[in-house]
Amino acid sequence: MTPVLSVRDLSVRFRMRGGRHVAAVGGVDFDLAAGECLALVGESGCGKSVLASALLGLLPGNAQTAGTAVLTGPGDGPGAGVDLLAADERTLARTVRGRRVGLVPQSPAAHLTPVRTVRAQLEEALRELTGTPRAELRAAAVAAAGRASFPAGLLDHHPHELSGGQAQRAATALALVGNAPLLLADEPTTGLDRDLVERTVDELRRHADEGRALLLITHDLAAAERIADRVAVMYAGRIVETAAADRFFGAAGPRHPYARGLLAALPERDFTPVPGMPPELGALPEGCAFAARCDRRTDACRVLPRLTDGVACHHAAPDGAAPAGVGSAGVGPAGVGSAGVGPSGTAPEDAAPADAVPDDIAAEETTRA
Ligand SMILES: Nc1ncnc2c1ncn2[C@@H]1O[C@H](COP(=O)(O)OP(=O)(O)OP(=O)(O)O)[C@@H](O)[C@H]1O
């Protein structure tokens, strides 16, 4: 099937003072098909939002991008295939943002126009993106709000009169208006109660089920498990694993030690955080960026592992190995909480590794500690 979006070797670097660089995204490859939801997960600061901003041409002036991100489309008109990284601002503003690529922003308060009511913003988006006639705008705005569980009674409020969760739902309603073939949802459930989380992600899932593509950026692994077809795990700017969601969350589990650690950190599983902290993106090591935190590291990890068969690790768990926590706490759609992926803490020194560690690695670990 032709993907809606095809990303190849996408990198984003920020130029900093003193000639330094922050490598926020590196060598990212993925495809996203119509009808598919890909969940992009990973710790805070790993590059998820920068990736979404790159796809929308919304990076700041100190950013340098490389690679391609082709949004497919027929013919040679405004709906034709376009490389989102190479497109000029006029093309992005007139034919891409909102129309072909929708965004549920991470910071809705900053995204909504402060001086206009939610109703006015929804009606404008409906008029611009769907050509809804003036006489039908009022009813259409109520319906659009309803899609994102935004209360009709708050439509005449300005953004500053909304709670964080209400602003989130207003921004989601706006993002859904254009029925864009590709929707980027960056933390769309922040500040929402579990019931609203489920309603919101179910609506996003419906967007995909109607034949559109959804990139769900989230810390909420329960939300990802609920609606994603595939999961991509990002670490220090790189995708370290992609897997079918049922495999990722099921008995087989992920194969990358970091991805296994993310799941093991869930309260419903082992409640054991991934030890240590992610590296500075301005000072990444040459080899595997996770090695310093990894109980499987060896000398081989000094060479950067490439994503091969869905995993970028020299010591990936074999296919079919059960991840930590499965069988102890049990994780199913109903039993998964919202803790998800947060900034990790430091594990106790004696935290049990998710997998058996070869003796030589364990000895090395002790020496380094
Ligand atoms: N304009 C900028 N200049 C320099 N560095 C930046 C800039 N914008 C983002 N970064 C850096 O890029 C990295 C990735 O940030 P990003 O916002 O994509 O993380 P994230 O994975 O979305 O995190 P979170 O889950 O907290 O939203 C961070 O280290 C951030 O400090």
pLDDT in tens, 253-294: 999 999 999 999 999 999 899 999 999 999 999 999 999 999
- Summarised one tens digit per residue, pLDDT across range 314-360 is 999 987 666 655 433 333 333 333 333 433 333 333 333 333 333 33
- Ligand 1 contacts CB of residue 149 (under 6 A): no
Cα end-to-end span (Å), the chain: 49
Residue 260: partners with Cβ closer than 8 Å, 6 or more residues away = 253, 254, 317, 323, 324, 354, 355
- What is the rounded average pLDDT of the residues 158-172? 94
pLDDT band (50, 70, 90) for residue 1: low
Domain spans, the chain: 1-89+232-369
- Minimal-distance CA residue to ligand 1 atom 6: 14
Res 74: pLDDT: 74
- Ligand 1 contacts CB of residue 281 (under 6 A): yes
Q: How far apart are CA 79 and CA 94, in angstroms?
A: 11
- Ligand 1 contacts CB of residue 61 (under 6 A): no
> What topology is assigned to 1-89+232-369 in CATH?
Rossmann fold (3.40.50)
Ligand 1 atom nearest 281 alpha carbon: 29
- Please, which residues bridge with residue 185 across strands? 104, 216
- Minimal-distance CA residue to ligand 1 atom 9: 50
Instruction: Decide which of 351 and 135 is more confident.
Output: 135
| Test site for ligand 1: of 15, 25, 48, most ligand atoms within 8 A of the Cβ | 48
CA of 44 to the centre of ligand 1 (A): 8
Res 350: pLDDT: 30
Res 323: pLDDT: 62
Q: Please state, rounded to an integer, the average pLDDT across all residues of the chain.
A: 87
Instruction: Decide which of 54 and 78 is more confident.
Output: 54
Of 52, 51, 40, residue with least CA distance to 262: 40
pLDDT at 241 > cutoff 80: yes
Res 345: pLDDT: 33
Strands, DSSP E only, in 92-162?
A: 101-104
pLDDT at 205 > cutoff 60: yes
| Structure-token match 């000094």, residue found | 302
